[in-house]
């Protein structure tokens, strides 16, 4: 099932649930919705269109949406939830288990889950119950500037994956030309820097041992872990990352890659499109930008260089205290149709947890993008969830501080990093 899903590029489907209660024409219902994506035009436009369509089909229900950037949204929700003043529906991601732990979310067992990929439902299942509508799904992709790579006289291997030595040489060659090899920054996010380590460790260890590592069943002092982190540290010391890595924000990292000053590569979730495919005046890549996608490089001594991560990202949940649970469920079910999943793929150009059919995409840019994604994912073996989505407590906190930031920034040694992580468990 999982392999069929991946090769189909993770559709999201919805079915329409029966309307069994709630508002009548004489009793109008207002649902409040707080969402991330204020600056991500394709995603916001998609949701706004879905709201408009839902309201047209359900004239007794009005949805009042408020748009935020992520950090501002999380801060507002933290206060509102504790005060009992949270919206009916809001944006969330599966790693936010504190919402479930504190009973803040409505049980969504009655959704049309047949229209959702099983792995996407699993990502939002907590103690046997599902709590989120998994709208966005993504893989970690290594983007590159095709023209820049060609100008350096370097050809991409036929299998799209550089060997460890070839990748190290590429980093050194790029740096020698005064170009940053890889745009990446952790100024406002707890995960971009960790993409380097978790993709490398997954390849080195394979899915089973990697899962054991995150769960504390395999020590971070394991020689294979130390060797992999040492290899990555060597790349960082060779100048792979921007000098502003620790302060560079996500939006700035995008622009750093495709516009100014320009970097050869950019490691990011496949939702790259939600920012980069905007118009240039809104932070998007320049018209005609020669975008390519390669595989994450092979890792020395890896047992699974075809392994990679897949994750559920932006989702919607309902407030457990909403006075209109039936209306919220009906709104969520309005997303669960194959045509809605396809509309997300075509317009947002990001994978989704709704069952859909990428072969029906007609937009040329979207079709080309998903064709590249399909090639980098061909033959892949997957681990579901990035570390901060499956870790919790002290290990998650230390992982974020050390692997996301301090180690790639060169502020801590590998020896100290693995010591701190081992002690965190």
Give the CATH number for residue 23: 3.40.190.10
What pLDDT is attached to residue 236?
A: 98
What pLDDT is attached to residue 221?
A: 97
403 and 261 inside one domain: yes
The answer to whether residue 374 is domain-embedded is: no
Q: What pTM, to 2 d.p., does this model score? A: 0.82
User: Measured between alpha carbons, how far is residue 371 from residues 311, 361, 423 in Å?
Assistant: 19, 11, 43
The answer to whether residue 369 is domain-embedded is: no
What pLDDT is attached to residue 53?
A: 98
129 and 156 inside one domain: no
User: Measured between alpha carbons, how far is residue 394 from residues 55, 129, 151, 365 in Å?
Assistant: 44, 25, 46, 43
The answer to whether residue 362 is domain-embedded is: no
The 315-318 sheet, strands edge to edge: 61-67, 29-35, 89-92, 315-318
150 and 260 inside one domain: yes
What pLDDT is attached to residue 150?
A: 97
The answer to whether residue 72 is domain-embedded is: yes
The answer to whether residue 339 is domain-embedded is: yes
88 and 206 inside one domain: no
The rounded mean pLDDT for the chain is 92
What pLDDT is attached to residue 12?
A: 32
115 and 148 inside one domain: no
Q: What is the DSSP pairing of strand 61-67 with strand 381-384?
A: unpaired
User: Measured between alpha carbons, how far is residue 77 from residues 39, 66, 123, 124, 328 in Å?
Assistant: 19, 12, 21, 19, 18
276 and 155 inside one domain: yes
What pLDDT is attached to residue 15?
A: 35
244 and 339 inside one domain: no
Q: How many domains does the chain have?
A: 2
Q: Which of 127, 93, 52, 15 is nearest to 354 (CA)?
A: 15
Contact 82, 91 (CB under 8 A): no
What pLDDT is attached to residue 23?
A: 42
d(CA 227, CA 86): 46
404 and 332 inside one domain: no
The answer to whether residue 372 is domain-embedded is: no
Q: Which residues contact 233 (CB under 8 A, 6 or more apart)?
A: 407, 410, 414
183 and 36 inside one domain: no
The answer to whether residue 76 is domain-embedded is: yes
Contact 9, 358 (CB under 8 A): yes
What pLDDT is attached to residue 7?
A: 42
189 and 294 inside one domain: yes
114 and 167 inside one domain: no
Contact 124, 130 (CB under 8 A): yes
Which tokens sit at 421? 């992580």
d(CA 192, CA 112): 33
What pLDDT is attached to residue 34?
A: 98
The answer to whether residue 365 is domain-embedded is: no
125 and 176 inside one domain: no
Residue 285 structural domain? 139-310+386-424
What pLDDT is attached to residue 359?
A: 81
What pLDDT is attached to residue 402?
A: 98
What pLDDT is attached to residue 13?
A: 32
Contact 394, 424 (CB under 8 A): yes
> In the chain, which residues have pLDDT < 50?
1-25
What pLDDT is attached to residue 8?
A: 41
d(CA 321, CA 379): 44
What pLDDT is attached to residue 363?
A: 87
d(CA 121, CA 292): 31
């Amino acid at each position: 099932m999982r392999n069929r899903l991946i090769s189909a590029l993770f559709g999201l489907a919805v079915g329409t649930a029966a309307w069994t209660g709630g508002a009548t024409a004489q009793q109008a219902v207002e649902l409040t919705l707080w969402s991330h994506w204020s600056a991500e035009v394709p995603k916001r436009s998609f949701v706004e269109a879905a709201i408009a369509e839902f309201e047209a089909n359900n004239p007794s229900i009005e949805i009042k949406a408020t748009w935020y950037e992520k950090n501002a949204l999380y801060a507002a929700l933290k206060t509102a939830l504790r005060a009992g003043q949270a919206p009916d529906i809001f944006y969330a991601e599966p790693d936010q288990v504190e919402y479930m732990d504190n009973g803040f979310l409505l049980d969504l067992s009655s959704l049309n889950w047949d229209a959702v990929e099983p792995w996407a439902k699993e990502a939002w299942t907590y103690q046997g119950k599902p709590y989120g509508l998994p709208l966005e799904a993504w893989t970690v992709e290594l983007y590159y500037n095709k023209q820049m790579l060609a100008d350096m006289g370097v050809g991409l291997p036929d299998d799209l994956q550089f060997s460890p030595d070839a990748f190290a040489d590429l980093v050194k060659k790029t740096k020698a030309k005064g170009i940053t090899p890889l745009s990446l920054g952790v100024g406002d996010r707890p995960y971009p820097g960790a993409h380097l380590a978790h993709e490398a460790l997954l390849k080195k260890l394979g899915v089973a041992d990697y899962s054991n590592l995150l769960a504390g069943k395999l020590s971070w002092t394991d020689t294979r872990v130390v060797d992999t982190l040492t290899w990555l540290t060597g790349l960082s010391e060779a100048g792979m990352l921007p000098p502003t890595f620790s302060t560079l924000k996500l939006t700035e990292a995008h622009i750093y890659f495709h516009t100014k000053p320009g970097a050869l590569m950019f490691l990011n979730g496949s939702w790259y499109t939600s920012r980069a495919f905007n118009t240039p005046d809104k932070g998007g890549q320049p018209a005609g930008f020669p975008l390519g996608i390669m595989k994450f490089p092979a890792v020395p001594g890896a047992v699974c260089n075809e392994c990679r991560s897949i994750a559920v990202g932006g989702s919607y949940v309902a407030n457990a205290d909403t006075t209109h649970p039936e209306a919220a469920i009906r709104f969520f079910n309005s997303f669960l149709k194959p045509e809605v999943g396809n509309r997300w793929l075509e317009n947002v150009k990001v994978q989704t947890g709704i069952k859909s059919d990428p072969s029906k995409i007609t937009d040329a840019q979207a079709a080309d993008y998903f064709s590249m994604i399909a090639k980098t994912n061909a033959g892949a073996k997957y681990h579901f969830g990035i570390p901060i989505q499956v870790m919790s407590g002290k290990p998650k906190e230390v992982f974020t501080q050390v692997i996301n930031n301090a180690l790639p920034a060169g502020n801590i040694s590998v020896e100290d990093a693995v010591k701190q992580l081992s002690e965190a468990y």
